[in-house]
Structure 1
Amino acid sequence: MTARLYAAADGGNSKTDVVVGDSDGRILSRVTGPTISPHVLSFEGALAQLSALVAQARREASLPPSIELSHLAVYTAGADLPIEVDRLNTEISALALAATTTVDNDLFALLRAGTATPDAVGVVCGAGINAAGRRADGATSRFPALGQRSGDWGGGQHLAALALYHAIRSEDGRGPATALEPAVRDHFGLPTVEAVTIALHLGDLPESRLDELCEVMFAVATAGDELATRVVRRLTDEIESLVRVSAKRLDLLEAPYTIVLGGGVLTARHPMLHDDLMPRLHALSPRATVNVLSSPPVAGAALLALDALHGGPCPPALESAVRAAL
């Protein structure tokens, strides 16, 4: 039987990975490009970017135009609300990039990358923060994930913004003194935090460099600064809350399920965060297994595409081949 072909995309807030593979577990190409999140690009921009990346992945896999993909699996940031997921499914299907299409939030690719077990809760803490869960019977748990307006707290960009916020308030006296003040100005090599703020405002410092202050926050907290430590502890509280609420919604708190932790902030395993979080999660759900993601989320998207082609979980040998290739 001829192997069937698929494309799988994992789209985060800053970049997108796309792979082309086959039903025998081979990965034929992998490309990386800009985000396909409709929250960043608009729906029209997201569709155009996805089409371009799939076309690039097809070229790198040496697929002629006459060869049809059997399935396209797209898991992306910005597919948070049911109405967004439904619209993306409809509009991506209409692109006719493959015979069948699956579209959902990128957290489900993270979950599949982290575990094959059907009962699982995943938390991503990278640029932003979100959580989702799934259960063997198909039930899921989600959050709107629309930023602070939907109750979100945390993520690397938020911690970076808080580092600057507390540093300038320390400098001008509106807030408590904190070692974030000298750390922020020294990080950018400017004489004051106010100068850093103005440089970011005027574009003399690219806005993207503000994200660097997330690591500054962790470094200052690790050195013992009280205010920075409170921020990191608050992030730990938030991640624990996301797991607790997700697992409770799915009646998994007392069950043997898997907790998957992903995103750059969590996979960095900062000791102040990681070493506090692990015992909290074990106390929350003593029968749960905690996995810090080691495979790229696009591996989860590829495995979900393979699951679709096989009509259920793909054979373990194929799963191992995909994980090794990616």
Structure 2
Amino acid sequence: MGLTASVLAVDAGNSKTDVAVVAADGEVIGTARGGGFRPPAEGVGPAVDALADTVTRAYAAAGVSSAAHVSACLANADLPAEEEELAAALHARAWGAAVEVRNDTFAILRAGVTEPRGVAVVCGAGINCVGMRPDGRTARFPALGRLSGDWGGGWGLAEEALWHAARAEDGRGAPTALARTLPDHFGLPTMYALIEALHLRRLPPARRHELAPVLFATAAGGDGVARAVVDRLAEEVVTMAVVALTRLDLLEEETPVLLGGGVLTAGHRRLDDRVRESLAVRAPRAVVGVVRERPVLGAALLGLDRVGARPEAHRKVRDFFGT
């Protein structure tokens, strides 16, 4: 111990954390995986304490004790003020000489591009979009849900499906097969029974996320209401991408627009087709791709960007993670 690596890369999401220790030549010399990173629920101190265990194991595997640069892409770092608070907390741990904290969506974007240039829209439990240019300019959104004007994400889609299905069953809304397929998923006979089960917590609230795939399956079966929800999501994805491209003066340039997160990488044909069709009209120079690389790769590449690593180092990191 006592030796120093070039980059400590951290990708900390809500459900898991990946850490990689990278040497100056791009060799990944240590890795570790830990649990989720949830400062809003646990507090910054306890969340960083949990992160420390994963970092310690990665450093032990690498045989080093610090890095020149800590590149941390963290869930729930949605505002610059939150990034600053988390950066201070990580710097206090003395894991590296310099610390940079970004929202974890930046890791997904950087993992999918050969240089720090492009836009990524990520739709998992929630929805977010970021963009970057090599000169350091970025575009981002608060991504705090309806409070910050967001619509979409797996949780939001489930809520929308429940709303339409409830109104269809009692006559306030248009008929939709969702009134049957949503309760069927849980083995319940009616939407009323599903509403009661969720309200009285006979079904854990977290199980609502299971309904987004049911929505997509119902849309694929031809249901008009379900299709309209999917189409609205496609437009939200495209709108976020176009706004980010515009802010970065990239709308008229050939630029990667990458799609990530469970909803956008699941291969939902109608959603995929609508996103590509709309982007072709509103951002015809966008080059659409899907990011399936591990986000910790992006955190490592961002760190190598910051320390001025040679292109060979970037390639070596990509080779390690199998891309």
TM-score by length of 2: 0.91
**Aligned pairs for 1:40-189 within 5 A:** 40-59=41-60, 61=61, 63=63, 67-189=65-187
The Cα offsets for residues 41-81 of structure 1, whole Å up to 9 and x where unpaired, read as: 3322322222122123334x1637xx333332110121111
Partner amino acid for 2:27?
A: R
TM-superposed deviation, 1:94: 1.0
Which stretch of structure 1 is more off in the superposition, 27-36 or 83-92?
A: 27-36
Structure 2 partner of 1:261: 259
Q: Which amino acid aligns with 1:193?
A: M
Q: CA contact under 8 A between 2:87 and 2:99: conserved in structure 1?
A: yes
Aligned to 1:34: 35
Q: Which position in structure 2 is the counterpart of 1:298?
A: 296
* SS at 2:264 equivalent: helix
Q: 1:208 to 1:215 in 2, by over 3 A?
A: same
Q: 1:299 to 1:118 in 2, by over 3 A?
A: closer
The question of 1:212 aligning with 2:213 is answered no
Residue by residue over 1:146-195, the C-alpha shift from the partner in whole angstroms, topping out at 9 and shown as x without a partner, is 11011000011111121222222222223222101110111001122222
Q: CA deviation at 1:314?
A: 5.9
Question: What is the SS of the residue equivalent to 2:254?
Answer: coil
- Structure 2: any 5+ residue segments left out of the alignment? none
Counterpart amino acid of residue 206 in structure 2: S
Cα deviations by residue, 1:263-312 (Å, 9 ceiling, x for unpaired): 11111121010011112223323333222002111111122223334457
State the Cα RMSD in Å.
2.2
State how far apart, in whole Å, the 2-side matches of 1:281 and 1:314 are.
34
TM-score, normalised with respect to structure 1: 0.91
C-alpha separation in 2, matches of 1:312 and 1:13: 32
Gaps of 5+ in 1: none
The alpha-carbon distance between structure 1 residues 195 and 268, as it changes in their structure 2 partners (threshold 3 A), is same
Tell me if structure 2 keeps the 8 A contact 1:303–1:314: no
- Between 99-108 and 220-229, report the one with greater CA deviation: 99-108
Contact 1:37 1:79 in 2 (8 A): no
* Alpha-carbon distance between aligned partners in 1 of 2:133 and 2:22, rounded to the nearest angstrom: 27
**3-state DSSP of counterpart to 1:302:** helix
Point out 4+ residue stretches in structure 1 off by more than 4 angstroms.
311-314
Percentage of matched positions with identical amino acids: 45
Number of equivalent positions: 321
CA-CA distance at 1:92 after TM superposition: 1.2
Q: Report the residue type matching 2:252 in the other structure.
A: E
- Structure-1 separation of matches of 2:218 and 2:167: 16
Paired with 1:282 and 1:52, the residues of 2 have a C-alpha distance of: 46
Amino acid at match of 1:209: R
Shift of 1:19: 2.4
Three-state SS of the structure 1 residue aligned to 2:263 is helix
Q: 1:16, 1:198 → 2: CA distance? A: 36
Counterpart in the other structure of 1:252: 250
CA contact 1:255–1:285 (8 Å) conserved in 2: no
Does structure 2 retain, via aligned residues, the 8 Å contact 1:10–1:76? yes
Tell me: CA distance 1:299–1:62, structure 2 relative to 1, closer, same or farther (3 Å). Answer: closer
Equivalent AA in structure 2 for residue 142 of structure 1 = R
| Bigger shift: residues 2-11 or 91-100 | 2-11
Aligned residue in 1 for 2:271: 273
Aligned-partner residue type, residue 322 of structure 1: F
Partner of 2:252, secondary structure, is: coil
- Cα gap change, 1:313 to 1:128, in 2 (>3 Å): farther
